[in-house]
Amino acid sequence: MIKPLSVLNQSINRNVIVELKFGRGYRGVLDGFDPHMNLVLKNAQELANDEVVNRYSLAIVRGDNVIYISP
Amino acid sequence: MIKPLSVLNQSINRNVIVELKFGRGYRGVLDGFDPHMNLVLKNAQELANDEVVNRYSLAIVRGDNVIYISP
Amino acid sequence: MIKPLSVLNQSINRNVIVELKFGRGYRGVLDGFDPHMNLVLKNAQELANDEVVNRYSLAIVRGDNVIYISP
Amino acid sequence: MIKPLSVLNQSINRNVIVELKFGRGYRGVLDGFDPHMNLVLKNAQELANDEVVNRYSLAIVRGDNVIYISP
Amino acid sequence: MIKPLSVLNQSINRNVIVELKFGRGYRGVLDGFDPHMNLVLKNAQELANDEVVNRYSLAIVRGDNVIYISP
Amino acid sequence: MIKPLSVLNQSINRNVIVELKFGRGYRGVLDGFDPHMNLVLKNAQELANDEVVNRYSLAIVRGDNVIYISP
Amino acid sequence: MIKPLSVLNQSINRNVIVELKFGRGYRGVLDGFDPHMNLVLKNAQELANDEVVNRYSLAIVRGDNVIYISP
């Protein structure tokens, strides 16, 4: 048994896939998070239909948009 | 009478089906959860129309997307 | 005058109908609940247009999806 | 000046009309409530276009669906 | 500088217009409220396209539906 | 660095533009607010496509509808 | 590991891109924020399809509309 936030903690500095509501997907290095699942992503790519549509060196994603995070 | 979180606790390391809002379904081994029903799934499969459309070795699902969880 | 959660408590081990947002309906034996109206249903049937479309020996329904529960 | 929950309290054992989000309307005897406006309705009728489409001897309505309640 | 709830307090026993989400409008005498902006309206009229479509001698409107209230 | 509510405080008695969810826009004099961003507007105009469609001498706008406020 | 609000703090007086729900995008100088991710933007531009459709010398954006913020 592991807590969801512990898995996030173990994923720091690792690549994660983040699926958001409204059909948005992101890929990037998890640089930080807080208990609301607000996320800090480094070298983030926004994806649509598996294609990169935007790149951000740093992005703060508000947690209430998150559907799932896969380390 | 059993508490919903107690059922989740009994389902640790067992296969669960998770139905989310927005027409998403997942199948996987429940590896963890917290009181918001944030879930950790191992060997997760994303399903659409009973077909597997994605596989994740690990996924954190944010609880506010959950409709039901079936152990 | 009776509290809504007291009615749920009296419905433990009895058949209930649960109507959810997004057009979903469930029938099953109420096995548990918590103050958020998260529910545990045993021998649950998912209904669409009065037909059974799914069966679950056990299901945890997240309370924020509930429209009404009828014992 | 009267508090909304005091009006609910005065409406116990009286007929009420309850309008919910998603186009649902109910009529029934108010048997109970809590501070979230979760309601207990006795002899409830579900209405669509002023016609009765369902009857429940008892129903717990989750408060976050309520638009208005008219005693 | 005046607090929003103070304006509501000054509007007790006066006519108010209440605009709700989902395209609903109400007109009535404000009889009460609470800090969630749950409202008690007396002699309420429900409006659609500036026409009266329903009348209620008393209605409790749940605050989370409110867009604005105009005294 | 300035707190959002401090900017609101500095905007008291000044004209503000308020953009709400659901495509609604308002212009008026900010007369008050609270920490939920519930607003009191004086001499408010409701706008659609830059045209004035409604006028209110006083309006309380519920904060959860606000997208942005521009002083 | 860095907290999301710490990244916001480091972005004060710097240009940020803010993507909101409902298809809105903003560009401006971050002048302030609070723990709800309510933001104060200076010299803000509202964008649609990469074109500037509105300009504000100052805007308070309510945090619950935010999808992501990129410094």
Q: Determine the residue of chain G that is closest to A65 in CA distance.
A: G67
The pairing of strands C39-48 and D24-33 is unpaired
- G11-40 residues touching A, CB cutoff 8 A: 17, 21, 37
- What is the per-residue pLDDT for E30? 98
C-alpha C69/C-alpha E27 separation (Å) is: 32
Judged by 3 or more CB pairs under 8 A, whether A touches C is no
pLDDT at residue B48, rounded to an integer: 82
Mean pLDDT of E63-69: 97
How many Cβ atoms are within 10 Å of A54's Cβ, its own excluded? Answer: 16
Average pLDDT of the segment spanning A51-55: 92
Structural domain total, chain A: 1
Strand partners, A70: A17
Buried b (16+ CB within 10 A) or exposed e, E51-63: eeebebebbbbbb
Neighbouring-strand partners of residue D31 = none
Average pLDDT over residues C8-21: 97
pLDDT number for residue B3? 97
Contact check, Cβ <8 Å, D22/C71: no
Q: What is the DSSP track for A48-65? A: ETTEEEEEEEEEEEPGGG
Taking an 8 Å cut-off on Cβ atoms, the answer to whether D67 and E24 are in contact is yes
Q: Answer left, alpha or beta for residue A6, where phi above 0 means left and psi between -120 and 50 means alpha.
A: alpha
CA–CA separation, A3 vs C45, rounded Å? 30
The answer, as to whether pTM is greater than 0.90, is yes
3-state secondary structure of F50: coil
Give residue-wise pLDDT tens across range C44-67.
Answer: 999 987 789 999 999 999 999 999
- Give the least confident one: A2-11, D27-36, F45-54: F45-54
E17-30 mean pLDDT: 93
- Chains contacting G (3+ CB pairs below 8 angstroms): A, F
Q: What is the CATH number of the domain that holds G64?
A: 2.30.30.100
Judge whether residue A44 has pLDDT over 80. Answer: yes
Give per-residue pLDDT as tens, D39-48: 999 999 999 8
Query: How big is the D-E interface in CB pairs under 8 Å?
Result: 57
Give the strand pairing for E15-20 and E66-70. Answer: antiparallel
Which domain range does residue E13 map to? 4-70
In this prediction, residue D33 has a pLDDT band, given cuts at 50, 70 and 90, of very high
Residue C17: its pLDDT value, please? Answer: 96
The yes-or-no verdict on residue E67 having pLDDT over 90 is yes
- Min Cα distance B56 → chain C (Å) is 23
CB-based contact (8 Å) between A61 and chain G? yes
Q: How confident is the model at residue A7 (pLDDT cuts 50, 70, 90)?
A: very high
Give CA–CA dist A63/B64, Å, rounded: 11
In the prediction, which pLDDT does F49 show? 77
Joined tokens for residue E6: 């103070």
Nearest chain F CA: its distance from E35 CA (Å): 11
Q: Residue B34: list chain A partners with CB under 8 A.
A: 3-5
A20 and B21 Cβ atoms separated by less than 8 Å: no
Is the CB of F4 less than 8 angstroms away from the CB of G38? yes
Half-sphere exposure of G62 (CA within 13 A, CB side): 20
SS3 F45: strand
Mind listing the pLDDT tens digit for each residue in G22-63?
888 999 999 999 999 999 999 999 998 778 999 999 999 999
Judged by CB atoms closer than 8 Å, whether chains meet at B61 and A70 is answered as no
Band of the pLDDT at B59, cuts 50, 70, 90?
A: very high
CB neighbour list of residue G25: distance below 8 Å, 6 or more residues apart: G17, G18, G19, G46, G47, G48
Distance from CA of E1 to the nearest CA of D (A): 23
